[in-house]
Amino acid sequence: MLGALADAFDDWCRTSSIWPLTPAADTASAVERFYDEYLASPFRDQAGGSRFNNLLWLFLLTRATRPSLIVDSGTYRGASAWAFANAEPECPILSFDIDLSSLARRTPGVTFLQSDWATHEFTGYDLSRSLAYFDDHVDQGRRLEEAAARGVPWLVFDDDFPVTSFVSMAHDGNALPKIEFLLDDGLRGVSTISWERNGREIQWPIDHQRLERLRTLIAATDRLPNTSLITGIHQTPYRLVSTAIK
């Protein structure tokens, strides 16, 4: 299983042009080390938050990009911050959440901040090769705008569901649009999306001018390979975005 996961990452790196990637030669041994540390961590077998498949991708992506700064928006129990720190312990990592009461581990080397990342001043940090990870149940278009305005080039989005299956992560429309919505040409002639949740109808009017503006902020995008069949753990693969920084 671990060998197949390493091969999946290496194969993706060879064909992807989404970011500058320099994968290390020891992917297989890195995956094995990460797996052992994951089994000993407080993040195993949790019902919510990041799980093994996606945490491994965060770990491997970080090793291959060597970012100058990592922004982790949506700390929750701290699993993603832990994965980032395991990959690049020398890289500054800022982990944001408006409520840190669920934090399971304060990983050394990570700065935990009980606030929204958009309110933070990044004075003194090099953002030219920074990576931002968003798993915070907030409008992904807003996060894209904020990242582009700050000059963050590499973005990772969790919970990026298409219009056919977004309901569980819509949060009554507060977490819309997803990045998938910006890429869906089928929405161009639609004025409103409506759905039923917990017995009530919810409507989200589509602001097409805003969606067009958001599309201009995406220089390139890709979805990571689905490794669910390798591990037996189903998770929607992350969405990667390279921002069009003006």
171-223 per-position pLDDT tens digit: 889 999 999 999 999 998 899 999 998 888 999 999 999 999 999 999 999 99
Kindly report whether the global pTM for this prediction surpasses the value 0.85: yes
Assign domain 2-243 to a CATH class. Answer: alpha beta
Percent of the chain with pLDDT over 70: 98
Query: Mean pLDDT lowest for which of 4-13, 46-55, 103-112, 168-177?
Result: 46-55
Closest CA to 142 of 50, 194, 213, 239: 213
Give the integer Cα–Cα distance in Å for 157 and 123. Answer: 24
**Per-residue pLDDT tens over the stretch 12-50:** 999 999 999 988 889 999 999 999 999 999 998 666 667
Q: Where are the domains of the chain?
A: 2-243
